[in-house]
Amino acid sequence: MRPDLGQRDLRFKPIDNSSPRKLTREQIDHYNEHGYIAPLDLFNEDEIAEQRAYFDVLLEKLMRTNDGRNQYAINCYQARCRGIWDLATHPKVLDYVQDILGPDIVCWATHYFCKLGQDELIVPWHQDGSYWGVTPARTVTVWLAIDDADEDNGAMKFLPGTHTMELLDWQEHEGPAALPQEIISTDKLGEPVYDVLKAGQFSLHADMLVHGSDANTSGRRRCGMTLRYFPPYVRRSCDFALDPIIARGTDPENYWQHNPRPDGDDLSPK
């Protein structure tokens, strides 16, 4: 089953960077071959504590609305929440992303994936790019651990090398899940690798890499922030709503409308 999102180029383009700023050549080779890099150190204990406290405030504010939204609902608020905008444009983050995308960087989506303790929802095996109406497939995702993430509390897991297979067949998942798509016959795609991260660490993964996560069977929360970036030459392939930020460099053709830094935190329903 394949979504009708127009003609899209979902082929992986290997990264060719002979002079990376933060990543090593070996790490870039690993990204090209396996579709991800992990773990990478980003924030120290004090810095990630500030990020965690900010998310806790947002989550409490969201829950107080009592409007049916849950802990997964802080999705694509980068143009409306000052702290998310600041994280998406953080120089430490962008230095790594630049090694993958080059000097012109658009942050077009963000999402807190917060699994509370004993959360039965899984994230089925999927490819991010199959959900998105953009082309070509050039998004790199930063997955920042707000809390420690391990196998017990539902860390993300990858199927290495699947980013080169373009769009794989999927079906609707049956059972509790945070996302609906489930790729068929993943047992034939190799052994999974868990994205085990300490709070303040992050991973990078390509948009066509097959990944997912298990239920959180522990009593510990597992929150991560995804930051989605692509170069400004990426285009919409359909009527796909975005609230982009020109995070670094420029958009030479002025295709993407830049959202400036918001004054506060607006979590009203989108």
Beta bridge partners of 205: 36, 141
The CATH code of the domain that includes 179 is 2.60.120.620
Q: How far is CA 171 from CA 157, 162, 168, 207, in A?
A: 19, 17, 10, 19
For residue 216, is it within any domain? yes
70 within domain boundaries:
yes
Identify whether 254 is part of a domain.
no
Asked whether residue 101 is domain-assigned, the answer is yes
Residues in contact with 99: Cβ distance below 8 Å, sequence separation at least 6, in sequence order: 15, 17, 20, 21, 22, 23, 28
1 falls within a domain: no
Is the residue at 89 inside a domain?
Answer: yes
Task: Give just the sign of the alpha carbon dihedral 146, 131, 250, 38.
Answer: positive
pLDDT tens, residue by residue, 20-79: 999 999 999 999 999 999 999 999 999 999 999 999 999 999 999 999 999 999 999 999
Q: Note the pLDDT tens digit of each residue in 222-262.
A: 999 999 999 999 999 988 889 999 999 999 999 999 999 99
Give the distance, in angstroms, between the CA of residue 196 and the centroid of all CA atoms in the same chain: 15
Q: Which residues pair with 112 in a beta bridge?
A: 225
Between 270 and 262, whose confidence is greater? 262
181 is a domain residue: yes
Which domain does 42 fall in, by range?
Answer: 26-248
For 112-140, what is each residue's pLDDT tens digit? 999 999 999 999 999 999 999 999 999 99
Is residue 159 predicted with pLDDT exceeding 90?
Answer: yes
**Average predicted confidence (pLDDT) for the chain:** 95
Per DSSP, 164 falls in state G
As a whole number of angstroms, the distance between CA 266 and CA 65 comes to: 12
The reply to whether 50 falls in a domain is yes
Total structural domains within the chain: 1
